Homo-oligomer: A and B are copies of this chain.
Amino acid sequence: MMQEDSERTELENLGEFGLIDHLTKDLENKQPTTKIGVGDDAAVIDIGDKYLLVSTDMLMEGVHFDLSYAPLKHLGYKSVIVNLSDIYAMNGTATQITISIAVSNRFSLEAIDAFYEGAKLAAEIYGVDIIGGDTTSSLAGFGISITAIGEVEKDQLATRSGAQENDLICVTGDLGGAYVGLQLLEREKSIFKDDDKIQPDFSGKDYLLERQLKPEAKKGLKKMLKNAGIVPTSMIDVSDGLASELMHLGKNSDKGMTIYENKLPIDPLTVSTSEELGIDPTISALNGGEDYELLFTVKQADFENIKSLDGVSIIGHVTDINTGFNMIGKGDNVIKLSAQGWNAFSK
Contact = CB atoms under 8 A, between A and B. Distances in A.
**Looking at chain A, what size class is its interface with the partner chain?**
35 or more
A335 interface: no
Interface string A25-41: 00111110110111000
A11 B206 CA distance: 34
A135 interface: yes
A48 to B, nearest CB: 5
A131 B55 contact: no
A345 B138 contact: no
A105 interface: yes
B147 A58 contact: no
A57 interface: yes
B132 A23 contact: no
For this chain, the copies found in one complex come to 2
Contacts of A132: 37-38, 42-43, 54-56
Contacts of A3: 67, 71-72, 111
A252 to B, nearest CB: 15
A111 B143 CA distance: 21
Nearest to A192: B1
Interface in A77-101: 95-96, 98, 100-101
A69 interface: yes
A133 to B, nearest CB: 6
21 contacts: A1-B68, A5-B111, A11-B137, A16-B136, A30-B127, A38-B130, A38-B132, A43-B131, A54-B96, A54-B147, A56-B132, A57-B134, A58-B134, A58-B143, A60-B102, A60-B137, A62-B139, A64-B136, A134-B145, A136-B345, A140-B141
Given A43-B131, A63-B137, 6 more contacts: A6-B110, A11-B137, A19-B135, A37-B129, A47-B52, A62-B138
